[in-house]
Chain A
Amino acid sequence: MNWYILINIILPFVLAPFLFGVINRTKAFFAGRRGQPLLQLYYDLFKLFRKGSVYSVTTTWIFRIAPFAVFSSIVCVILIMPCGALVSPIGFRGDILLFIYFLAMARFFTVAAALDTGSSFEGMGASREVQFAALTEPAFILCMAALACETHSFSLSTIFSRLSFASWSGEGAVLLLVAVSLMIVLLAENSRVPVDDPNTHLELTMIHEVMVLDYSGPDLGFILYGAALKLWIIGSLVVGVALPVNTGNFFLDRFIFLGGMVLLAVIIGIIESVMARFRFLKIPQVLILASALSILALILQVRF
Chain B
Amino acid sequence: MSEKNYISIHNSEAFPVKSIPIVDIDDFRETVITEIERGKRLASFFGRPLNESAVCLTAVIADDKRGCLQILSTEVEKSYQSLTPDCSQANCFEREIAEQWGIVPLGHPWFKPLRFHHSYRKEYDAWERGLDEEILPAHTDFYQVSGDEVHEVAVGPVHAGVIEPGHFRFQCSGERVFHLEIALGFQHRGIERAIISGDKSKIPHYMETLAGDTTIGHSVAYAQAMEALSGCLVSGRAQILRGIMLELERMANHVGDIGALANDVAFLPTASYCGRLRGDYLNMTAMICGNRFGRNMVRPGGVMYNLDASLISQLSRKLEEVFSDTENAIGLMWDSPSAIGRFEDTGKISREIAEELGLVGVAARACGFERDVRFDFPTGIYCFSQIPVATFSTCDVFARAYVRGLEIQRSKSFICEQLETITGDDIFTVPGDSAPDMAVVSMLEGWRGEICHFAMTGADGNLLHYKVVDPSFHNWNGLAASMRNEEVSNFPICNKSFNLSYCGHDL
User: Interface of A with B (CB < 8 Å)?
Assistant: 27, 30-33, 120-121, 123-124, 127-128, 193-194, 197, 199-205, 272-282
Contacts and interface: CB of A to CB of B under 8 A. Distances in A.
A276 B336 contact: yes
Given A279-B487, A280-B487, A30 B269 contact: yes
Contacts, number: 87
B264 A202 contact: yes
A96 B113 CA distance: 60
B266 A200 contact: yes
B266 A197 contact: yes
Given A204-B492, A278-B342, A280-B175, A124 B153 contact: yes
Interface of B: 151-155, 160-161, 174-175, 262, 264-269, 271-273, 276, 336, 338-339, 341-342, 346, 487-492
A273 B338 contact: no
A31 B271 contact: yes
Contacts of B155: 203-204
A197 B272 CA distance: 15
A202 B338 contact: no
9 contacts: A31-B273, A194-B338, A202-B160, A272-B268, A275-B339, A276-B267, A276-B339, A276-B341, A279-B342
Given A31-B268, A204-B492, A274 B342 contact: no
A31 B151 contact: no
Given A120-B152, A204-B488, 10 more contacts: A127-B174, A204-B492, A272-B266, A272-B268, A274-B269, A275-B267, A275-B339, A276-B342, A279-B346, A280-B175
A280 B161 contact: no
Most buried by B among A27, A203, A204: A204
Contacts of A127: 174
A130 B317 CA distance: 54
A205 B492 contact: yes
B49 to A, nearest CB: 43
**Nearest 6 A-B pairs (CB), nearest first?**
A31-B272, A276-B339, A276-B265, A276-B267, A197-B266, A201-B160
Given A200-B264, A201-B160, A204-B155, A278 B269 contact: no
A209 B349 CA distance: 31
B160 A205 contact: no
A211 to B, nearest CB: 15
Contacts of A30: 268-269
Nearest to B262: A276
A179 B155 CA distance: 40
A253 B153 CA distance: 52
A249 B273 CA distance: 46
Nearest to B344: A279
Nearest to B490: A279
B79 to A, nearest CB: 38
Nearest to A206: B489
B264 A275 contact: no
A199 B269 contact: no
B269 A204 contact: no
Contacts of B492: 202, 204-205
A57 B161 CA distance: 25
Nearest to B329: A32
A273 B332 CA distance: 12
B167 to A, nearest CB: 14
Nearest to B265: A276
Contact of A193 (B161, B262, B266): B266
